[in-house]
Amino acid sequence: MEKQKFNVSGMSCSACSARVEKVVGALDGVKSVSVSLLTNSMVVEYNPPLTAKDISKAVAEAGYKAALASDKSEKKDKMNPILVMVIRLVLSFVLLIPLMYVSMGVVMWGWPLSFADDTMAIAVYELVLSLVIMVVNGKFFVSGTKSLLHRAPNMDTLVSMGSAISFIYSVALMIQAAVRPEHLAHLAHNLYFESAAMILALITLGKTLEAYSKGKTTSAIKGLMNLAPKTVHAIVDGIEKEIPVSDLQENDLFVVRPGENFAADGEIVSGDTSVNESSVTGESMPVEKAIGSQVISGTTNINGFVTVKAKKVGENTTLAGIVKLVEDASSSKAPIAKTADKVSGIFVPTVILVALLVFVVWISVTKNIEISLKHAISVLVISCPCALGLATPVAIMVGNGKGAKAGILFKTATALEQAGKADIVVLDKTGTITKGMPVVTDVKTLSSYSENELVLLAARLESGSEHPIASAIVNRAKQISNTEISPADSFENLSGHGIKGTLDGLTALIGNATLMQKNGMLSEEAEDVAKAFSSQGKTPLFFALDGKIVGIIAVADEIKPDSAQAISALKKQGLRVIMLTGDNALSAKAVAEKCSVDAVISDVLPSDKDNVLSALKKYGKVIMVGDGINDAPALSRADIGIAIGAGTDIAIDSADIVLMKSSLSDVAKAINLSRRTLLNIKENLFWAFIYNVICIPIAAGALSFDPVNITLNPMIGAAAMSLSSVCVVLNALRLNLANLNKESKRKKPPVDVDVEEVKAVVKNRKNQSESVATSPQSTQTETAIDFANGNCSTDESNRPDTCDAAQIETETDKNKGEYIMQKTISIEGMMCMHCVKHVNEALSKVDGVSLVEVSLENKNAIVTLTKDVSDSALKAAVETEGYDVTEIR
């Protein structure tokens, strides 16, 4: 699977973008295509053997030009397109003024002119000026004719047809008057040269204003790009030298003076300073930096002179990543745009047919060709497909820019649209609600060991772990003793439970109550101590040596200052807020009460978070907020995944929205921005549709009868068409004024979530998965085990007496119980957690699949089946998403 971005030239309206999208989407191998009229770009996902050249060729055959955005040979210096439009506009109006003086002032109002009595001279004068204006704006005719020849008429076709018909009709009248002089008197008042010219001039004016306004919508991206300095003071052979930023390499040293921006991500190796990171993270307070501190490209050095070692340069910097995210999101297409795209694809041909029908009706009724042409031309020039095409992308562009300035990055337009439609927000506790930096608060010894001895022994076992709780115990040990902590003799991480190892020949365990219970060590005394810690919001860690609990260490993670306020803001937005944690129920409850969350789901293993999200989806659209590797599957499973900015790369990769700050308040801001953007899109679409619904009938002459008697001539139609697009863009720019801290309540009440039912569903799925994992499979017969009537086990030592062979059934005896079976699908082509999400969703939709577990690391998917599902059905589901199935077993 390949994904490429193309620059597309020659598009003038939504009909053009719809045409390009249709042509490229029809190519064999194309999985998805998104064309942006706003940025004149196209993003295509496709499978080989299709190539970028094939795609460019298809676009060229449609009458446009497409080149890879990364193709530097295409990036030639060209005159600013807005400047070109301004030149055309100025020339058009310079010529239009004398044309209007003659056609309106002289002919209609008797203004002075030396040849005012020579009707043919006036006609020739108007013809020459209008012809020059048409040549100046020849782009409309070239584009309109090309698109018509390719059977995909666009806005330029409508404009050029309206102008050309007016011009040709006027020339025909001149020829008639030259042949029959008695028609000269009638000629002067019936020429449409000024209409032919005025249509082009007004459309050019509208296009210029539109281009200028569209330029404003990309100001956020341009602002981000400008944060990166063009040169950097690098240290080359011990000497400071100013070089282009593009020449800076990883591990190079460079110096940054007060007031300068950092040119790359790196680590300070000398000096200390304060850094303003607001341009990237949205955090207004300066951040103190010293030797060893990490700095971000694009941020500003406030007051110190520092030397930095470059870690990420060029396109790998944080700033470059942010710019790419915003550009990609702005180039993608929101689901709400699909309706407008469908209408745009047939809009122009429909308008041409309507104009033709209007002409036929009027000529039949009035027998007057002038009136008939006036109404037909008015219909052509007043119809506006541009407003329809711009309604969604301009709002998406401005919304993304607004988010980027606030440190909120939407990775796709879909994420920007869907976040505001969420019903439930699920918050991971550690690192999301809390700071993610736990500390040891209490130590209770249950043996002859002293408290300090317990901590030092536990630290030896925890030193092999990177878990935040392990760091808390190791840090406490370092405070107790200055000596180096020697590692355990052996170390084994028990995911979701704790750690097992050997200390001086003794078997050591440290972890939760479940781990102790499994090993038969949990005493009543230890349980009481743990409950007391838990009730205070602390996490108890049982420490056992040689088969006996010798002490309990309590660890607590401080709640972030803004968490309670942020959760309150989410609830005021009409959302149901649920905390999800691996902590025990008492500890979780204590944190939940302080933050006032609606519900808590505790004691959840990392592997079960995905199941929790699946169960919650029954109640509505779900947002998952997390920061760690353990959250990645859940972020992918949620309708919208939000990664806290201080989180890991894999969590950020799995998310749909990235918060650059570790502030939970930004979740409410992101949802607020999503709702405001969606409202803005709806306003734009309403305006675009209602404009055409009202204006086209008026232009057709529907109200030209008494007593209303309202008509629109072609010049007014051209002006209205120009203004409609400008209005849409200006409305989108209003998003820049939005206050993201202001509440945006939704109309419907919060959904009711039965947490106990969710827990039961998760437990059932877990038991089912474990049961399948232990079920015997034959190479000839796929055996299924019915667990409905008892807790059967394939392990003879654990099998209850009541379980007999009658409870084991084969595939041919399904009627006696539930058919459960597992298949492993080997998959090639998955590159990230979004790929995992796509495969997961595709397989989940297959009838008979009850559980899906996709592994990016193992390149496979394990599916649990409740009925016989063919390999071909599973393979088709995966390959439809663009991935290759190499084996099913």
pLDDT tens per residue, range 688-709 = 888 888 888 998 988 888 787 8
- Counting Cα atoms < 13 Å in the Cβ hemisphere of 679 gives 14
Confidence check: pLDDT of 813 > 70: no
List the one residue out of 880, 870, 816 whose CA is nearest residue 848. 870
Report all structural domains of the chain as residue ranges with CATH numbers, in order of start. Answer: 2-74 (3.30.70.100), 81-219+337-389 (no CATH), 229-316 (2.70.150.10), 439-556 (3.40.1110.10), 755-888 (3.30.70.100)
CA distances from 350 to 153, 345, 346 (A): 10, 10, 6
List the one residue out of 789, 65, 732, 98 whose CA is nearest residue 393. 732
- What local confidence, expressed as pLDDT, does residue 461 receive? 92
Which tokens is 544 given? 């056992």
Compute how many other C-beta atoms are within 10 angstroms of the C-beta atom of residue 839.
25
Contact 422, 623 (CB under 8 A): yes
Mean pLDDT of 7-25: 84
List the one residue out of 646, 624, 628, 648 whose CA is nearest residue 636. 624
How do residues 451-489 score in pLDDT, each as one tens digit? 999 999 999 999 888 777 888 999 999 999 888 888 899
Confidence check: pLDDT of 648 > 50: no
712, 716, 720, 726 alpha-carbon torsion, rounded to 10°? 180
- What local confidence, expressed as pLDDT, does residue 786 receive? 32
Cβ neighbours of residue 788 closer than 8 Å, sequence gap 6 or more: 817, 818
How do residues 649-697 score in pLDDT, each as one tens digit? 555 667 888 888 878 899 999 999 999 999 999 998 888 888 888 888 9
Name the helix (H) or strand (E) containing 808. Answer: strand 808-810
Provide the residue type at 395 as one letter: A
Provide the residue type at 62 as one letter: A
Compare 459 and 80 and report the one with higher pLDDT: 459
Q: Of the segments 171-185, 449-463, 586-600, which one has the largest average pLDDT value? A: 449-463
- What local confidence, expressed as pLDDT, does residue 162 receive? 84
> d(Cα 573, Cα 27) in Å, to the nearest integer?
44
Contact 417, 336 (CB under 8 A): yes
> d(Cα 283, Cα 304) in Å, to the nearest integer?
19
> d(Cα 255, Cα 492) in Å, to the nearest integer?
44
Name the helix (H) or strand (E) containing 109. Answer: helix 107-109
Contact 442, 475 (CB under 8 A): no
Compute how many other C-beta atoms are within 10 angstroms of the C-beta atom of residue 104.
12
Catalytic residue numbers read 428
Confidence check: pLDDT of 816 > 60: no
List the one residue out of 883, 882, 885 whose CA is nearest residue 871. 885
- What local confidence, expressed as pLDDT, does residue 768 receive? 61
How do residues 296-347 score in pLDDT, each as one tens digit? 888 899 988 999 999 999 888 888 877 777 777 766 667 777 666 677 668 8
Mean pLDDT of 711-724: 76
